[in-house]
Amino acid sequence: MLPLQSSTKKIVSPDRGRMLIACPDGPGIVAAVSKFLFDHGANIVQSDQYSMDPEGGMFFMRIEFDLERLAARLPSLEADFAPIAERFRMDWRVTLASVKKRVAVFVSKEEHCLLELLWQWQSGDLYADLSVVVSNHPDMAPIVEPFGIPYVYVPVTPDTKPEAERRQLEAVREHGADLLVLARYMQIVSPKFIESHANRIINIHHSFLPAFVGGKPYAQAYRRGVKIIGATAHYVTEELDGGPIIEQDVQRVTHRDNVDELKSIGRTIERTVLARAVKWHLEDRILVHENKTVVFS
């Protein structure tokens, strides 16, 4: 079977840039940023902003703009913007929209979230390079290999976990991945693992957090007789299932649904919620502040 290649139907201009800003709120921020881009010949094509609290709170902004020869001019653009950023005490970055982020997907034995990511990538809906799939089981290899994506199998046991994580991170570095997606990867990762990719590890939890944290959430939900089940995509932190939430969704259920039926309904929610969260990260739509996210969707 020939490897399947990612669709090229989505074309992003090499002159398209994205600026993300978080800073204390105050007058003049939007004017200063807009004037700076205008003075440098940029054309703003989209602008979103959000103020948590106009009186002493935080301000968040995302701008997409076009600027000829952006890649070559980016270092000087950043240098020129630095005084403005310092004046408003900004945490900021500028990215090239045309440069695809490289993604490592971690899986165990559940295939639905992995398949959704593969389908969306292959169709061009996920603008990324899926650089490697890492698993603690060999089961998903036949699914992944026809796509031409390397599959790295690293067994994990309680005794071998530190060494296994070292090998996993080595594979991530080898394939140049800058975003890690835990697509129903049923392992708790260590603080050292998380530290290496802060706010760059997305997990899908098969529950509407903060309800039913930890293992077997569908069984927990069934015992409580819930009428709504859901899924939550979040950045991974040292607090189990407690990281900044990116996206959630729910579906109504009834007392007639047993645990297996809840799981079946939940799988559909999980895969769509995870794919949306990954897509928003790839498009630089997420700003993290403390343990919350601002998502310009």
**Catalytic residue set:** 241
Instruction: Respond yes or no on whether the N-terminal peptide bond of residue 191 is cis (omega within 30° of 0).
Output: no
CB-count exposure of residue 135 (10 Å: 0-12, 13-18, 19+)? buried
Residue 259: which region, alpha, beta or left (left: phi > 0; alpha: psi -120 to 50)? Answer: alpha
What angle separates helix 29-39 from helix 70-88, to the nearest 10 degrees?
150
Helices 112-123 and 259-282 pack at an angle, to 10 degrees, of 40
Contact 252, 230 (CB under 8 A): no
Give counts: helices (H), strands (E), the chain. Answer: 8, 13
CB 19 within 8 A of CB 67: no
**CA torsion angle for 294, 191, 250, 112 (degrees, to 10)?**
120
Residue 92 bridge partners (DSSP) = 21
Cβ neighbour number for residue 87 with a 10 Å cutoff:
12
Please state, in angstroms and rounded to a whole number, the distance separating the CA atoms of residues 102 and 129: 5
How far apart are alpha carbons 190 and 187 in whole angstroms? 9
